[in-house]
């Protein structure tokens, strides 16, 4: 082989090409990691009601590591999503030195028992809120179903100027609703929405004109409902003496 100039020339050209490629690669690595390309601007977008400026500044100061090219977007996104009210974050680099951060907050629908909040998509999240919110309860994994049930019941109850303050789904999939008028409504397992709809239709000519307080209604009857009247004692009629 050593006596073949063409092969030697080809090998020399190949080695020179590899050397140039290695040099360019090393130069590119130096350029990418160079402090000449820092992230100088961070633009935060989104309708933010609960995420504070101080929280954002903390993430920027402590979690944004690297240059414009080396910043780990996935790790940075996860850092923002650790904030209590943040549901989802998307990041995008903007040449030459800007990072766009789009933040979507949770919208609280209700409290989930005593362990957190539930958003409008039926997702649980941990955050503090002083708002007056309804309480939803159910087995683990039923959050979406209970949220949908609450919104449906709320719509059905609107004609009688009432709304749910508590909605419970039992392990046997039976529904119970407590209204803001301190009235507990037992819906049962099957056809809960249909039962509540019939109750709302009958309410103006039944309970609305009842001249007594009531605190419990059982709708689990095929052709009507039962009402509990606090303190009510049925009068016993005495049979007339013969």
Q: What is the pLDDT of residue 182?
A: 85
Site of tokens 């390309």? 37
Bridge-based pairing of strands 41-45 and 98-105 is parallel
Query: Rounded distance, CA 137 to CA 133, Å?
Result: 13
Helix (H) or strand (E) holding 118: strand 117-119
What is the signed CA dihedral for 227, 228, 229, 235, rounded to 10 degrees? 90
Q: What is the pLDDT of residue 181?
A: 74
Query: Rounded distance, CA 63 to CA 112, Å?
Result: 31
Decide: 77 and 86 in contact? Cβ < 8 Å. no
Q: What domains does the chain contain, in order, with CATH numbers?
A: 41-105 (3.10.20.310), 108-228 (3.40.50.11690)
Q: What is the pLDDT of residue 213?
A: 84
Site of tokens 């650790």? 82
- Enter the pTM of the model: 0.80
Decide: 165 and 134 in contact? Cβ < 8 Å. yes
Tell me if the bond preceding 96 is cis, omega within 30° of 0: yes
pLDDT digits (tens), the chain, 242 positions = 545 566 656 665 665 666 555 544 444 444 444 466 788 999 999 999 999 999 999 999 999 888 888 899 999 999 999 999 999 999 999 999 999 999 999 999 999 999 899 999 999 999 999 999 999 999 999 999 999 999 999 999 999 999 999 999 999 999 999 998 789 999 999 999 999 999 999 999 999 998 888 899 999 998 889 998 876 555 555 554 43
53-63 and 73-81 helices cross at what angle (nearest 10)?
A: 150
Q: What is the pLDDT of residue 29?
A: 46
| Paired tokens of 103 | 């933040």
Query: Rounded distance, CA 44 to CA 219, Å?
Result: 50
Bridge-based pairing of strands 184-188 and 175-179 is antiparallel
| Paired tokens of 67 | 């240059």
């Amino acid at each position: 082989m050593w006596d073949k100039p063409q092969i030697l020339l080809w090998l020399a050209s190949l080695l020179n090409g590899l050397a140039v490629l290695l040099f360019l690669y090393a130069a590119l690595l130096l350029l990418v990691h160079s402090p000449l390309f820092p992230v100088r601007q961070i633009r935060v977008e989104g309708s933010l009601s609960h995420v504070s400026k101080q929280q954002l500044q903390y993430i920027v100061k402590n979690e944004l590591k690297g240059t414009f090219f080396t910043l780990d977007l996935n790790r940075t996104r996860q850092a923002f999503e650790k904030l209590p009210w943040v549901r989802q974050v998307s990041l995008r680099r903007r040449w030459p030195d800007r990072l766009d951060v789009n933040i979507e907050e949770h919208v609280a629908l209700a409290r989930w028992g005593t362990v957190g909040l539930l958003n409008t998509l039926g997702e649980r999240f941990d955050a503090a809120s002083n708002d007056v919110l309804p309480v939803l309860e159910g087995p683990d994994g039923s959050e979406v179903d209970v949220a949908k049930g609450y919104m449906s019941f709320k719509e059905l109850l609107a004609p009688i100027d009432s709304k749910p303050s508590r909605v419970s789904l039992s392990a046997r999939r039976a529904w119970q609703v407590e209204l803001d008028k301190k009235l507990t409504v037992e819906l049962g397992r099957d056809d809960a929405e249909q039962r509540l709809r019939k109750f709302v239709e009958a309410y103006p000519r039944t309970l609305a004109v009842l001249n007594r307080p009531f605190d419990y209604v059982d709708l689990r009857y095929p052709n009507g409902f039962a009402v509990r009247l606090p303190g009510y004692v049925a009068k016993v009629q005495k049979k007339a003496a013969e």
